[in-house]
Chain A
Amino acid sequence: MTTKPQLKLGSHLVPGLAAVALFVVMAVVFLGASFPNPQGFAEGANITASIGYSMFNLDFGDVTGESFLVAFIVIAVTLDVALDGAIHLARREESGQMRTILTDGGRELKRTLLDSDDEEGDH
């Protein structure tokens, strides 16, 4: 009995063909593109420092970059909020009682209560 991953080939891979198709189309586009020569960075330029400056909308970097000050502040808030949301979701509830679902218009509940299957049809 081995637990190592096994390569499973089967019908569940069929949807993957869509990804292959997308790749083919993208590859055709990309291979058709002709780029001029790259500009590259100046020799010895301090990339990391430049990134830092660019992040705070300062003009001291060796390599130019656009201002990311707003993005920086926003992402700070975003991470904060993500944490907020994640914690809320991850927190374990004291009572494990599941609530009834309302999403099917109460059909589930009705079925359990009335013990009938007639609601299951072509809706």
Chain B
Amino acid sequence: MTPLQTLPEWAATAPAIVLALTGLALLLIDTIDPDSTNNGLLAGTATLGALAAGGIAAWFLIGGTGMESTGGAISLYGDALVVDGMSLFFTLIFTSVTAMVTVASYDYLADEEYQGEFYSLVIFAATGMTLMGMANSLATVFVSLELASLPSYALVAFLKKDRGSIEAGLKYFLIGALSSAVFAFGISLVFAVTGSLVLPEVAATLAEGTELVGVLGLGVLMIAGGFAFKTASVPFHFWAPEAYEGAPAPVSAFLSSASKAAGFAVAFRVFTVAFPLETVTAVGGGSVDWSLLFALLAVVTMTLGNFAAATQENVKRMLAYSSIGHAGYALIGLAAITVDGGAANGDVLGASMAHLLVYGFMNTGAFLFIAMVEKWGLGRTFEDYNGIASKAPIAATAMTVFMFSLAGLPPFGGFVSKYALFYSAIESGFWWLAAFGAVNSALSLFYYSRVVKAMWIEEPSKPLEIGSQPVGLYVAIIFAAVGTVLLLPGFQPVIETAQTVAAALF
């Protein structure tokens, strides 16, 4: 059944609406009963909302909503929003990560106050991300990006009595504010050149020709900067190590998986729709070659992330850097787009999307494992992880799966998605990008395996005591691990969908 034949058009935004309503519902619950900390109810509501939104997205996706088969993308409210396969695909990523994070938070926040705020902030941020995926106007992009960002700042600084959390929040906020200013300035410059904020119209104006290549270039670069902040790419990545390290681990998971994916979602759409490469590389006697820009950023980002991660002593910070490295991989999706790429453009973009999906599972899982370790009060360094496997073999196995998958080792999802990504890059002629990625993957194996080594091979220096067996965290981690493993044999539908929906952008 194709859902929108029976539903009104606005219903296509249902995932975002469901999420927003869930957020409001959480506020309501918190308002009605502010003092009691009914963790189960809050976490359950948030999870249910996320799952419902995800379910709807999946249903739409299977039904072909906004895709070629049902008449193409659905454009709403004066082109401010567009619902197509890509937005639904990313919604699926956001909601699944959100669901895992909220389930895990049930245990993580058990001893905290203000849980209502926490869940509502998470759900609103997810709403913002979903909207980012749908945004079809720079105005909507900016506003929804802020909707995703502002709760994130608060979430990072959520542990008000933890200096790390505060410091992380501060740095995240400051760099974020700066980046959003840069982003806004970029938008203003693009507006100066084209007189429009709606993405297809920007493209249309540019196609008519303009002499203002310099202004446009500056604008595009600054917009790219805004996305680079969101995706934690060089040179806007500086917040990431501290924010991921200092934030409560579920928030780190949320930010490094969902928020990063949201940044990519909007970047993919803005650059492919508003600034088609064939147009902007030939404006006014100059060119704005953002593909080259992203290629450069991709190489620097993945190299910096991996090298810096290699010598970390703190597992969480190592994962933070690895997350930067993965941003570099995903950037290949934009970097490998060429003027005459044809189908290859869709392939590489789709591969990048598929990688982000797999990454959503394995990286969220990894951070949630850290959340579990924090819950156990074991510390954050590699040393502190020594011998965990002897006490918690199932969780350690899951973490092992995440680590090897992140490193791109078979037989896990990370391998096949990385393979698809590099393969598509080569197909587009960017074999050197793939080579860079591959070499970086090899290096990454070193530090990922250190975690594994610590858990399974090292002996704990002091007697290891694990207090509780947090059910929610376990559920989330196992869910992520199973997803990571199953995405190897089940990669076919994922990559097929991703590449189909990506091809629709061109």
> Which residues of chain B are near A123, meaning CB under 8 Å?
311, 313
Q: Is B176 an interface residue (CB 8 A)?
A: no
**Minimum Cβ distance to chain A for residue B68 (Å):** 24
A89 to B311, CA, bound (A): 34
Interface set, chain A 67-101, CB cutoff 8 A to B: 67-71, 74-75, 77-78, 81-82, 84-86, 88-89, 93, 97-99, 101
* A89 vs B153: C-alpha distance when bound (angstroms): 10
Nearest CB in chain B: distance from A106 CB, A = 4
Task: Find out whether the CB atom of B163 lies under 8 angstroms from the CB atom of A101.
Answer: yes
CA A32 to CA B117, docked complex, whole Å: 50
Whether A102 contacts B127 in the complex (CB less than 8 A), given A33-B212, A70-B77, comes out as no
Query: Closest CB-CB distance, B152 to chain A, in whole Å?
Result: 9
The answer, among A34, A69, A85, A103, for a CB contact under 8 Å with B150, is A85
Against A, the Cβ 8 Å flags (1 = close, 0 = not) of B79-104 are 11100000000000000000000000
With A33-B211, A77-B127 as contacts: A71 and B381 at CB distance below 8 Å: no
A120 to chain B, nearest CB (A): 12
Judged by a CB distance under 8 angstroms, whether A105 is at the interface is yes
User: When the two chains form their complex, are residues B313 and A93 in contact, meaning their CB atoms are under 8 A apart?
Assistant: no
B137 pairs with A66, CB closer than 8 A: yes
Quick check: A81 and B151 within 8 Å, CB to CB?
yes
Taking a contact as CB atoms under 8 Å apart, the answer to whether A81 and B124 are in contact is yes
Closest to B383 in A: A105
**B381–A84 CB distance below 8 A:** no
Query: CB of B114 within 8 A of chain A?
Result: yes
Partner of A85, one of B131, B143, B151, B311: B151
Within 8 A of B (CB), among A9-52: 26, 29-30, 32-35
Residues of B within 8 A of A71 (CB): 80, 137, 139-140, 143
Q: How far is the CB of A47 from chain B (nearest CB, A)?
A: 16
B161 and A26 within 8 A (CB)? no
Closest to B154 in A: A85
Residue of A nearest to B151 (CB): A81
With contacts A84-B27, A99-B161, A101-B163 known, is A66 near B78, CB below 8 A? yes
Q: Does B483 contact A (CB under 8 A)?
A: no
B380 pairs with A66, CB closer than 8 A: no
Known: A71-B139, A93-B161. A30 touches B215 (CB 8 A): yes
Instruction: Report yes or no: B381 in contact with A81, Cβ–Cβ below 8 A.
Output: no
Query: Which of A26, A78, A99 lies in contact with B143, CB distance below 8 A?
Result: A78
Contact of A89 among B160, B218, B313 (CB under 8 A): B160
Q: Name the one of B23, B81, B163 contacting A70, with C-beta atoms under 8 angstroms.
A: B81
Chain B residues whose CB sits within 8 angstroms of the CB of A93 once the complex forms: 160-161
A103 to B374, CA, bound (A): 11
Partner of B163, one of A26, A103, A107: A103
How distant is A116 from chain B, measured CB to nearest CB, in Å? 15
- Chain A nearest CB, measured from B213 CB (Å): 8
A88-B154 contact given A74-B140, A77-B147, A78-B146, CB 8 Å threshold: yes
Cβ-based interface call for B289 (8 A)? no
- In the complex, what residue of chain A is closest to B218 when comparing beta carbons? A29
Chain A: minimal CB distance from B123 (Å): 10
B379 adjacent to chain A (CB < 8 Å): yes
Residues on B with beta carbons closer than 8 Å to the beta carbon of A102: 162, 164, 374, 379-380
Q: How large is the interface on A (under 10, 10 to 19, 20 to 34, 35 or more residues)?
A: 35 or more
State in angstroms the CA–CA spacing of A114 and B418 once bound together.
45
Contact B211 A67 (CB under 8 A): no
The listed residue (A75, A89, A106) touching B154 by CB distance below 8 A is A89
C-alpha spacing A34/B193, complex, angstroms: 11
State the Cβ distance, B372 to closest chain A Cβ, in Å.
14
Q: Tell whether, in the assembled complex, residue A34 and residue B197 are in contact, meaning their CB atoms are under 8 Å apart.
A: no
Q: Decide if A106 touches B380 in the complex (CB within 8 Å).
A: yes
Would B147 and A33 count as touching, CB distance under 8 A?
Answer: no
**Quick one: which of A84, A99, A104 contacts B121, CB cutoff 8 A?**
A84
For B76, list chain A residues within 8 Å (CB): 70
Q: A77-B124, A85-B150 known; A97 and B140 CB under 8 Å?
A: no
CB neighbours of A69 from chain B (8 A): 77-78, 80
The answer to whether B154 and A29 have CB atoms under 8 Å apart is no
Instruction: Report yes or no: B215 in contact with A81, Cβ–Cβ below 8 A.
Output: no
B197 / chain A contacts, CB cutoff of 8 Å: 66
Report Cα–Cα, A70/B78, bound state, in Å.
9
Inter-chain contacts of A34 with B (CB < 8 A)? 211-212
Q: Is the CB of B164 within 8 A of A101?
A: yes
| Complex partner residue of A88 from B114, B128, B381, CB under 8 angstroms | B114
Knowing A26-B218, A101-B162 touch, does A89 contact B157 (C-beta < 8 A)? yes
Measured CA separation A51–B201 after assembly (Å): 19
B379: chain A residues at CB < 8 Å are: 102, 105-106
Q: Are A81 and B121 in contact (CB under 8 A)?
A: yes
Chain B residue numbers with a CB within 8 Å of A74 are 128, 131, 140, 143-144, 147
B201 cross-chain contacts in A, Cβ below 8 A: 66
- 7 A-B pairs within 8 Å (CB atoms) are namely A30-B214, A33-B214, A57-B78, A66-B80, A74-B144, A84-B151, A104-B314
Residues of A within 8 A of B (CB): 26, 29-30, 32-35, 57, 66-71, 74-75, 77-78, 81-82, 84-86, 88-89, 93, 97-99, 101-107, 123
Chain A to chain B: the 6 pairs with minimum beta-carbon distance, closest first: A67-B78, A85-B154, A103-B164, A105-B381, A29-B214, A70-B80
Given contacts A85-B117, A101-B163, 5 further A-B contacts (CB under 8 A): A85-B150, A88-B154, A102-B162, A104-B164, A105-B314
